[in-house]
């Protein structure tokens, strides 16, 4: 039963309280006659508690979360853990091996939940994950980045109308949060249907490790584990300002095709009418301004200097009169993590060889 201290079965393996092991969960045979499996490390404390899954690389090229989970699994705080941590660093194994976002059948795994055991490849992977992981958990954290050539400022996306997800978001400790509607076929929607509160951490760019975003992700996972009672509170941990929630976001798109010169960075506050970028033709005969339609924060942007008309350039989150408060939170966050140190000593250090109580 969820959250209890009884034996837990995943992928046909029984994991008992106090055990730490790696489980290979069979998914589907490949046409090379090999079998695809998803590897999960299961860490069980001796004492009963929540069952938290943390997943990464649902999109195979979004690899920041893989490093977040690797560091988390070596964190000494897990030694005294209650409950169970199920860590799945690579959900979309096919995409990860091929530096690809999608599965070989061209489908987006994060639009294929809850899946089917008799469907195409993406559907089978989704079905196995929801059966073996989601439905055996009490809470979830899903780690993502922007797509190729797009960066996201560290943010939480969740159904913040669910008070449990809201509390996890506030505990995570990044300054920006988006009250994002559930999308059909997504892992978030699948978890919601199973009554498992889940938050999605978005930070960085596909196929890149970005140290600030990784450190913030490790600390955020530890903070959530503390919040739900898996870990003891840290006596030295600073109180974190609650993230300010945006109910509305929008992409600003290129009005013309050409060479892009961006003028504002990721995480910047922008004012209505402010020039965000310039699009020019290579011959220098044309230059068009891209302006902000409303005041807000830059939570995502393209990194490509070449754009077509209609391409998404800046992702803005709108906060109304609260945008000044958000700017202060972002500046504090960047100051804390931008110098190479974690303010609580959780993400930059605190690692040792794996062991559990």
Do 34 and 143 fall into the same domain? yes
Q: What is the mean pLDDT of residues 251-275?
A: 97
- Which residue, 195, 219, 244, sits at the end of a domain? 244
For the chain, what is the domain count? 2
Supply the range of the domain harboring residue 258. Answer: 247-337
Count of residues in the chain: 357
Do 200 and 285 fall into the same domain? no
Do 195 and 320 fall into the same domain? no
Do 124 and 229 fall into the same domain? yes
Do 60 and 109 fall into the same domain? yes
**Among residues 304, 307, 170, which one has the least CA distance to residue 244?**
170
In a domain, 259, yes or no: yes
Do 136 and 235 fall into the same domain? yes
Do 80 and 54 fall into the same domain? yes
In a domain, 67, yes or no: yes
pLDDT at 336: 86
Residue-wise pLDDT for 174-228, tens only, equals 999 999 999 999 999 999 999 999 999 999 999 999 999 999 999 999 999 999 9
- Which residue, 244, 269, 285, sits at the end of a domain? 244
Do 157 and 274 fall into the same domain? no
- For 73-113, the DSSP string reads HTBGGGGG-EEEEEEES-S-HHHHHTT-SS-TTS--GGGS-
In a domain, 217, yes or no: yes
Q: How confident is the model at residue 79 (pLDDT cuts 50, 70, 90)?
A: very high
Do 223 and 110 fall into the same domain? yes
Do 105 and 166 fall into the same domain? yes
Do 12 and 155 fall into the same domain? yes
In a domain, 175, yes or no: yes
pLDDT at residue 29 greater than cutoff 60:
yes
pLDDT at residue 118 greater than cutoff 50:
yes
């Amino acid at each position: 039963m969820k959250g209890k201290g009884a034996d837990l079965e995943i992928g046909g393996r029984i994991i008992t309280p106090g055990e730490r092991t790696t489980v290979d969960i069979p998914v589907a045979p490949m046409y090379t006659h090999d079998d695809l499996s998803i590897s999960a490390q299961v860490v069980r404390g001796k004492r009963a508690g929540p069952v938290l899954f943390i997943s990464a690389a649902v999109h195979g090229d979004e690899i920041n979360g893989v490093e977040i989970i690797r560091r988390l699994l070596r964190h000494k705080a897990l030694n005294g853990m209650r409950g169970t941590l199920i860590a799945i660093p690579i959900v979309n194994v096919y995409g990860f091996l091929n530096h690809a976002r999608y599965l070989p059948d061209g489908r987006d795994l994060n639009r294929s939940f809850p899946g089917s055991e008799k469907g195409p490849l993406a559907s089978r992977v989704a079905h196995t994950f929801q059966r073996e992981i989601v439905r055996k958990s009490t809470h979830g954290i899903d780690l993502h980045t922007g797509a190729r050539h797009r960066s996201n400022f560290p943010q939480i996306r969740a159904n913040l109308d669910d008070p449990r997800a809201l509390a996890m978001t506030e505990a995570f400790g990044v300054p920006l949060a988006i009250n994002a509607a559930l999308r059909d076929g997504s892992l978030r929607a699948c978890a919601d249907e199973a009554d498992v509160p889940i938050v999605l951490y978005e930070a960085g760019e596909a196929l890149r490790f970005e140290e600030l975003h990784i450190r913030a992700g490790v600390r955020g996972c530890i903070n959530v584990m503390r919040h739900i009672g898996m870990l003891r509170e840290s006596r030295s941990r600073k109180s974190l300002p609650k993230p300010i929630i945006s109910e509305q976001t929008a992409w600003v798109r290129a009005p013309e095709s050409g060479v892009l010169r961006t003028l504002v960075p990721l995480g910047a506050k922008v004012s209505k009418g402010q020039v965000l970028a310039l699009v020019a033709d290579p011959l220098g005969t044309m230059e068009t301004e891209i302006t902000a339609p409303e005041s807000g924060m830059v939570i995502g942007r393209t990194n490509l200097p070449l754009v077509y008309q209609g391409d998404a350039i800046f992702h803005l989150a709108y906060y109304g009169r609260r945008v000044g408060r958000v700017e202060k939170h972002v500046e504090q966050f960047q100051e804390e993590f931008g110098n190479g140190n974690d303010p609580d000593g959780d993400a930059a250090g605190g690692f040792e060889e794996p062991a559990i109580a």
